[in-house]
Amino acid sequence: MDHLFDGIARYQTAVHPSNAPLFEELSGGQKPDVFFIACSDSRVDPSLITQQLPGQLFIARNAGNIVPSATTQDLNPDGVSAALEYAVEVLDVGNIVVCGHSDCGAMKAALAPESLTGTTYLRAWIDHARDAVESASDDVDIVIRRNVLLQLENLQTYRFVAERVREGRLKLHGWVYDIASGHVAIHNGETFE
């Protein structure tokens, strides 16, 4: 934990003061244009990958960058659905990015559910990616991409998302980040490039 406390000290003495005008502006509220849904994998940092400053991305992270379908929620919200509603209905974001990544442990677990023996919450969570596995081969890279597309479909099961997409007020984007190369493959409507 000492390295965390050292980081806080460096932040408070060097980083925060050198960005004082930005933080003064942000102290009055936020107005990001992008809701970024990413995996909680420690190797994936949305602000670093996109080189965005504080206040520019509204971020939700979870194992597998999963968005449970609204039809499975039955008014039993989780952190993703609550953040989604806040991003769209309150912050009025114009873009939502679902970003998967290479070597995703959640997608590896989805391919090998026996590896989740002994887990309760994780197994139930990974089940939200089941359709990505059932429609794919045993190739984890294919599953990662199909999972991103599945989560984009799941986003549109939320009434407030579907309405804004139809009206042209909200755009959905699917990305896959390659950890080794830094390349971000972006879905163009047909394939990832």
Domain range 31-186, its CATH number among 3.40.190.10, 3.40.1050.10, 2.60.120.10, 3.40.50.300: 3.40.1050.10
Strands 171-177 and 34-39: unpaired
- From first CA to last CA, the distance across the chain in angstroms is 40
Exposed/middle/buried for residue 138 (C-beta within 10 Å: 0-12, 13-18, 19+) = exposed
Report yes or no: 60 and 84 within 8 Å, Cβ to Cβ.
Answer: yes
Task: Tell me what pLDDT residue 74 has.
Answer: 61
Distance CA(136)–CA(81), nearest Å, equals: 26
- Give the start-to-end residue ranges of the domains of the chain: 1-30, 31-186
Half-sphere CA count of 7, side-chain side, radius 13 A: 4
Report yes or no: 147 and 158 within 8 Å, Cβ to Cβ.
Answer: no
Rounded mean pLDDT for each run of 10 residues along the chain, 193 residues in total: 94 94 96 98 98 98 96 74 97 98 97 92 92 83 96 97 98 98 97 95
Q: Is the pTM of this model over 0.75?
A: yes
Task: Tell me what pLDDT residue 150 has.
Answer: 96
Task: Tell me what pLDDT residue 73 has.
Answer: 56
How much is the CA Rg of the chain, to the nearest whole Å?
18
Task: Tell me what pLDDT residue 112 has.
Answer: 93
